[in-house]
């Protein structure tokens, strides 16, 4: 199917060149929170663009970057102390991995350099991020260029003891553990239990393993709470954010760390510097968009919308449960996912393209991951629009 030229977007709607409109039921790859072309974010961006559009972020600083850090830090799970800016989700995880590895290097513990990650994980498309992501069609061509990682299953009641044992055995060589808390995004919106993750994190922390929460997808209300980490008692040392950070308006990445990590870099020894920076690090426009999005996110109205979508998802889940041919129905906050039981459980499964095309004809944009169908709408979706998505999906499921 050739790409569809989109000329305009407003709220949940995408408008194409040929006059069609589509409800963006997956928030344009999970980034759009408050709706497309939001007037408040646009206004703030316009004002900032006339004031300061970009400045090198080495030796200089600016108000949007400082203000964003000050507003974001107290909202994050754990005692986050510092913010490091980059450009997107992949760079936020890349930065986190480098930060954790150099943390041990700066302490002279160079043997603590292994990373633990989950099977089925996805942390981005750059080389470090690919290395800690499950080996899949995304990484196939690069297998021998990726660094070695200890991959473990996500915790379940029947494997938690075994996982804890593996970590305890390898602990002295492990630098960090990276995880998508509670929902594995690109791996197929797979969900797992907070209590079990807490047990695993507790073991990691007992061995001083640096815990990196990749909240690139789960952050900013997606799971029903501001951050998925709020469902957990054990807090991370480092958090990665992007996607909804700017409400989906501009590309921006954040890697936040606690004081313990930061302190390992405080030294007169120049070799202990964290040598990482991008041309557009802390771009003032992107930081302004993030500030505007955060302002909207913290409004009662937005919190109510997140709760409303959660309720709509619950009702829809009950209806879907009555259908034959779907399995592993799961829901957390604004995310609803299930698998179609016929066909192969893989990303290249043709069923995805079939569903996308049938749904587009009904005015809804969905993009299943292989045979995993999911909804993740912007928070501004109306009850009526949600109903339209629901009817379109039920009709489509009936016909495949």
Ligand X SMILES: Cc1ncc(COP(=O)(O)O)c(C=O)c1O
What string marks each residue from 242 to 261 as x (binds ligand X by CB under 6 A) or -? x-------------------
Task: Tell me the window of 83-91, 144-152, 223-231, 317-325 that interacts with ligand X (CB under 6 A).
Answer: 83-91
DSSP 8-state symbol, 144: G
> Which listed residue (88, 288, 293, 331) binds ligand X by CB under 6 A?
88
Q: At what angle do helices 383-398 and 351-361 cross, to 10 degrees?
A: 130
Contacts of ligand X in 269-328 (CB under 6 A): none
Question: Which of 64, 78, 128, 185 forms a contact with ligand X (CB under 6 A)?
Answer: 185
Pairing verdict, β 21-24 and 364-365: parallel
Subset of 95-114 contacting ligand X (CB under 6 A): none
Of 180 and 234, nearer to ligand X (C-beta) is 180
Q: Which CB sits closer to ligand X, 194 or 320?
A: 194
- Bridge partners of 335? 332
Q: Which residues pair with residue 183 across a beta bridge?
A: 191
Least distance between ligand X and beta carbon 209 (Å) = 19
CA gap 244, 46 in Å, rounded: 20
For the record, the structure tokens of 157 come out as 């009641």
- Listed in sequence order, the residues at least 6 apart from 28 whose beta carbon sits closer than 8 Å to its beta carbon are 14, 36, 248
Of 124-143, which residues contact ligand X (CB under 6 A)?
Answer: 124
Is 180 an interacting residue with respect to ligand X (CB under 6 A)? yes
Task: Name the helix (H) or strand (E) containing 362.
Answer: none
Bridge-partner residues for 176, per DSSP? 115, 210
Identify which of residues 185 and 377 has a Cβ nearer to ligand X in the complex. 185
Token pair belonging to 337: 């996912």
Nearer to ligand X, 106 or 255 (CB): 255
Closest separation in Å from C-beta 348 to ligand X: 18
Structure tokens at 341: 């039981």
Residue 388 CA from chain centroid, whole number: 26
Task: Restricting to residues 194-223, name those near ligand X by CB under 6 A.
Answer: 214, 216-217
Applying CB under 6 A, the site for ligand X has a residue count of 14
Instruction: Kindly list the distances between the CA atom of residue 120 and the CA atoms of 138, 156, 200, in Å, as whole numbers in the listed order.
Output: 12, 14, 17
Contacting residue, 103, 104, 122, 365, with ligand X by CB under 6 A: 122
Q: Binding residues for ligand X, per CB under 6 A?
A: 88-90, 93, 122-124, 180, 185-186, 214, 216-217, 242
């Amino acid at each position: 199917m050739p790409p569809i030229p989109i000329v305009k977007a407003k709220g949940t709607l995408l408008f194409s060149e040929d006059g069609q409109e589509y409800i963006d039921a997956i928030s344009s790859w999970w980034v759009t929170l408050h709706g497309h072309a939001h007037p408040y974010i646009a206004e703030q961006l316009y004002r900032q663009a006339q004031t300061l559009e970009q400045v090198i972020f080495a030796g200089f600083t600016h108000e949007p970057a400082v203000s964003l850090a000050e507003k974001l830090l107290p909202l994050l799970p754990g005692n986050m102390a510092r913010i490091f800016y980059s450009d997107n989700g992949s760079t936020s995880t890349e930065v986190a991995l480098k930060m954790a590895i150099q943390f041990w290097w700066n302490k002279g513990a160079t043997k603590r350099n292994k990373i633990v990650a989950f099977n089925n994980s996805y942390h981005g498309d750059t080389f470090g991020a690919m290395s800690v992501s499950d080996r899949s069609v995304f990484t196939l061509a690069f297998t021998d260029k990726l660094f070695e990682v200890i991959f473990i299953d996500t915790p379940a009641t029947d494997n938690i003891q075994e996982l804890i044992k593996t970590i305890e055995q390898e602990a002295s060589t492990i630098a960090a553990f990276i995880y998508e808390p509670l929902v594995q995004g690109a791996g197929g919106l797979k969900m797992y239990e907070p209590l079990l993750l807490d047990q695993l994190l507790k073991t990691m922390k007992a061995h001083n393993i640096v815990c990196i929460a990749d909240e690139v997808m789960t952050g900013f209300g997606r799971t029903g709470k501001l951050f998925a980490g709020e469902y957990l008692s054990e807090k991370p040392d480092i958090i990665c954010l992007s996607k909804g950070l700017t409400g989906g308006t501009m590309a921006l990445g954040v890697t936040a760390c606690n004081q313990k990590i930061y302190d390992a870099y405080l030294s007169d020894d120049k070799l202990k510097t964290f040598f990482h920076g991008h041309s557009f690090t802390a771009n003032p426009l992107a930081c302004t968009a993030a500030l505007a999005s955060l302002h909207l996110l913290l409004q009662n109205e937005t919190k109510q919308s997140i709760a409303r979508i959660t309720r709509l998802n619950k009702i829809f889940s009950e209806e879907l449960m009555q259908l034959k041919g779907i399995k592993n129905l799961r829901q957390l906050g604004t995310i609803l996912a299930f698998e179609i039981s016929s066909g192969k459980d893989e990303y290249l499964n043709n069923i995805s393209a079939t569903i996308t095309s049938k749904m587009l004809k009904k005015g809804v944009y969905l993009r299943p991951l292989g045979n995993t169908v999911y909804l993740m709408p912007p928070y501004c979706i109306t009850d009526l629009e949600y109903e339209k998505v629901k009817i379109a999906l039920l009709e489509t499921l009936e016909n495949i």
